[in-house]
Amino acid sequence: MANLRRVVLDVLKPHLPNVIELSSQLADLAGVDGVDISLIEMDQKVENVKITCEGDSIDYEKVEQIIKKSGGSIHSLDKVSVGTSLIEEAITHQD
Amino acid sequence: MANLRRVVLDVLKPHLPNVIELSSQLADLAGVDGVDISLIEMDQKVENVKITCEGDSIDYEKVEQIIKKSGGSIHSLDKVSVGTSLIEEAITHQD
Amino acid sequence: MANLRRVVLDVLKPHLPNVIELSSQLADLAGVDGVDISLIEMDQKVENVKITCEGDSIDYEKVEQIIKKSGGSIHSLDKVSVGTSLIEEAITHQD
Amino acid sequence: MANLRRVVLDVLKPHLPNVIELSSQLADLAGVDGVDISLIEMDQKVENVKITCEGDSIDYEKVEQIIKKSGGSIHSLDKVSVGTSLIEEAITHQD
Amino acid sequence: MANLRRVVLDVLKPHLPNVIELSSQLADLAGVDGVDISLIEMDQKVENVKITCEGDSIDYEKVEQIIKKSGGSIHSLDKVSVGTSLIEEAITHQD
Amino acid sequence: MANLRRVVLDVLKPHLPNVIELSSQLADLAGVDGVDISLIEMDQKVENVKITCEGDSIDYEKVEQIIKKSGGSIHSLDKVSVGTSLIEEAITHQD
Amino acid sequence: MANLRRVVLDVLKPHLPNVIELSSQLADLAGVDGVDISLIEMDQKVENVKITCEGDSIDYEKVEQIIKKSGGSIHSLDKVSVGTSLIEEAITHQD
C-alpha cells in the first residue's frame, strides 16, 4: 500500500505535555522524519495546535494514539499526502 | 494519446473511508505518483475535500471509480494537466 | 517566423467533451508540450475554462480548430508568448 | 551605447492583426529574444494590451514602427531595462 | 529522543539586557546555530519580542532559563520543529 | 570607501529625453551594470519615474548630473545599498 | 561570544550627511559586508530611514556611534540575527 508522507492535524490539547514533549514523541515514531507544531490559539486550560508530520512512511494510527494518550483530541485531519513522492496541492480558481 | 499528469477534483464524501484510506487507494493506481487530499469543509455527515493526483499517466476513469465506490461524489473537475511535460497555468490580467 | 511558445485562452464550452478529452486533443498536436485546463465557472449547460498551452512551436489555427470542433467558443486570447525563448511578462506600476 | 534589454509598452490596437501576428513580427526583429502580449481589456473595436519584449539589443524604433504600422497606438512606455545585464526594479517603501 | 531544531517564542522583556545581549546569550548555547529576535511592540518600560532559535539540538530548558534570568517572561511557545530534519508547516484551507 | 551597488531614485522629468535615452546615458557610466526605469505616473508635461541603478561601483554624483542635465528633478533617494556585497533589506514587524 | 550577523534599525536623521554618505561609513566598519538604507518618510528637516546591516561580525556599538555622530537618533532596534549562521524568523499564526 502507498506510503503516507505528510499529515496535518487540527488538535485541541491540554497545556501539558507541552508541544516540545508531544512533538518529540511523534518524531520518535518509525517512519517520521520531522514534526512541526504551531500554536493557533490558547486559553488558560487548553491550546489549539496544528501538527504537521512528514516522513517516508507514517503510521497514522500511532500518531493518533500518541495524541490521544497525551490528552489531545483530533478535531480534523486537514491534509494528507500519500504516494511514492510528496506532491503539493495545486492551486485552482475555486480556492 | 497524451498522458494525463495532474488532475484536481472537488469531492463530497462521507467520513468513512477516511482521507488516508481514500488517498492510499488512489496512490496505488498504476500511473499515479502521489495524492494530496485537503479538507475544505466538514459537517457531521460529510466532508468536502480537494483531491490532487499527480503521475506520469493517470487513468481518470479509475480515479473516478475509486471515488464513487468509496461513496464520494465528484462536484467538479477543477484542473487537468496533460502532455509530455507538466505545465503550469499562466497568470493573466483576467484572473 | 518566430515560434509561438505559450497561448492562454478564455473559452466557453459544453460539458462534453470533458476537459480531459479536450486537453488530450490539444496536447496531441505537433509542437505542443503540455496543456493545462482550469475551470473558472460552470452551470448546468456550459463551463467557462482557461486553457494554457505550452510548446516549442504551437500552431494556433489548429488549437482554434480543435476548440471549435468540440463546440467551444473562444472569448478572448488572454496571453501569448512568441520567440526563441519563453519570456515572462514584467510587472509594472500600471498593473 | 548601452543595450536595451527589456521594454514594456501599454498599447491600444485594433483586433487585427491579432496578438499572435503582432508578437511574431516583434519577435522576428534582430536583437529580440521573446515577446509576451497580455490582454488588459477589450471591446468590440479595440483591445488594450501590455507588450513585454526581451532581448540582447532591442531597437526601440523598430518596435515602435511595427506597432504603428499594425494600427496600434502606444499609450505609455511603462518600463525599460538597459545595460550589460538585465536588472530588476528594487522594491521600496514608496511603492 | 528526537532533536529540537527550531523554537519560536513570544516574550515580554525589559529593555535591558537589550536584544543583542539576549540573542548572543541564546546563540552561545550548545546546540543552537542562530537566533533571530524581532521587535513586535515596545513602550517605555517593556518590549514584546519574537524569538526564533534554530540548531541541531536545542535544549529548551536552557533557552527558558536565559530568558527568565534576563527578566523576560514567555507568553507563548508559538512553534516548534523536532526530528531528524527541519520540516515546514504545510498550508491548509483552515489557515 | 565602500562601493555603492544599488541606488533607487524617485524622479520627475520632462517627456524628452525619453526613458530609453535617459537609461542609456546612465547605463553608459563606468561602474553601472544595468538601469531599470519604471513609469509611476505621467501627465501631458511631465512624468514621474522610478530609477533603479545597479553596478559594482556607482558614482552617485554622475548619476545626479545626468538626471539634472536631462531636465529631471530628484524628489527622493528611496534606497541605497553599499558594501562588498549587495544585501537586501530585511522584513520587520514595523513594515 | 556569538557573532552579530544582521541588525535592522529605525532611525530619524537630518538630511545631511545623506544616506549614501551614512551607508558608506557603516559599510566601511570591520565585520560589515553590506548596508541597505531605505527611506520610510521625509519632511523638510528630517528623514525616517530603515537601516539593514549584514556581516560576519558586526560591532553594534560602532554602528551606534556612526549613526549618532551623523546626527541620527535610533528609535528602535527592530531585528537582530546572531550566531554561527544567519537564520530567518519563522512565520507563525500570531504574525
ipTM: 0.94
- Write out chain G residues lying below 8 Å of D94, CB-based: 39
Is E59 within the bounds of a domain? yes
CA distance A79 to A50: 11
Is C40 within the bounds of a domain? yes
* Nearest chain G CA: its distance from E43 CA (Å): 11
CA distance B57 to A86: 17
Q: List the grid coordinates of E18.
A: 537589550
Q: Which of C20, C23, C28, C24 is nearest to C9 (CA)?
A: C23
Confidence of residue B34 (pLDDT cuts 50, 70, 90): very high
* Nearest chain D CA: its distance from G38 CA (Å): 7
Mean pLDDT to the nearest integer, B40-65: 97
CA distance D26 to D89: 24
Q: Give the dihedral sign, CA B67/B71/B77/B78.
A: negative
Is G87 within the bounds of a domain? no
Contact at CB, A24 and E82, closer than 8 angstroms: yes
Is D39 within the bounds of a domain? yes
- Mutate one of B10, B38, B42, B50 to test the E interface: name it (highest E CB count within 10 A): B38
Domain that residue C36 falls in = 4-80
CA distance F94 to A79: 33
Which secondary-structure segment (H or E) carries C41? strand C34-42
The answer to whether the CB of E60 falls within 8 A of the CB of A22 is no
What local confidence, expressed as pLDDT, does residue B42 receive?
95
Is A84 within the bounds of a domain? no
Is F85 within the bounds of a domain? no
Confidence of residue F1 (pLDDT cuts 50, 70, 90): confident
> For chain A, what percent of residues have pLDDT higher than 90?
98
> For chain E, what percent of residues have pLDDT higher than 70?
100
Q: For D54-65, what is each residue's pLDDT tens digit?
A: 999 999 999 999
- pLDDT at position C1 over 80: no
Other CB atoms within a 10 A radius of the CB of residue D75 amount to 13
What local confidence, expressed as pLDDT, does residue G13 receive?
98
CATH code of G41's domain: 3.30.70.1340
CA distance D19 to G18: 48
CA distance D45 to D37: 18
- Mutate one of D6, D12, D24, D80 to test the C interface: name it (highest C CB count within 10 A): D24
* Nearest chain E CA: its distance from A40 CA (Å): 8
Is G44 within the bounds of a domain? yes
Q: How many domains does chain B have?
A: 1
Across A20-42, b (16+ Cβ under 10 Å) vs e yields bebbbbbbebeebbbbbbbbbeb
Mean pLDDT to the nearest integer, G29-57: 97
Is E89 within the bounds of a domain? no
- Write out chain D residues lying below 8 Å of F18, CB-based: 77
Q: What is the 3-state secondary structure (H, E, C) of chain E?
A: CCCEEEEEEEEEEECCCCHHHHHHHHHCCCCCCEEEEEEEEECCCEEEEEEEEECCCCCHHHHHHHHHHCCCEEEEEEEEEEECCCCCCCCCCCC
What local confidence, expressed as pLDDT, does residue G38 receive?
98
Mean pLDDT to the nearest integer, B80-87: 96
CB-nearest to G2 from E8, E24, E39 is: E24
What local confidence, expressed as pLDDT, does residue A85 receive?
93
Q: How many residues does chain D have?
A: 95
The answer to whether the CB of A13 falls within 8 A of the CB of A50 is no
Mean pLDDT to the nearest integer, B8-15: 98
Q: For C22-80, what is each residue's pLDDT tens digit?
A: 999 999 999 999 999 999 999 999 999 999 999 999 999 999 999 999 999 999 999 99
- pLDDT at position E43 over 80: yes
Confidence of residue F63 (pLDDT cuts 50, 70, 90): very high
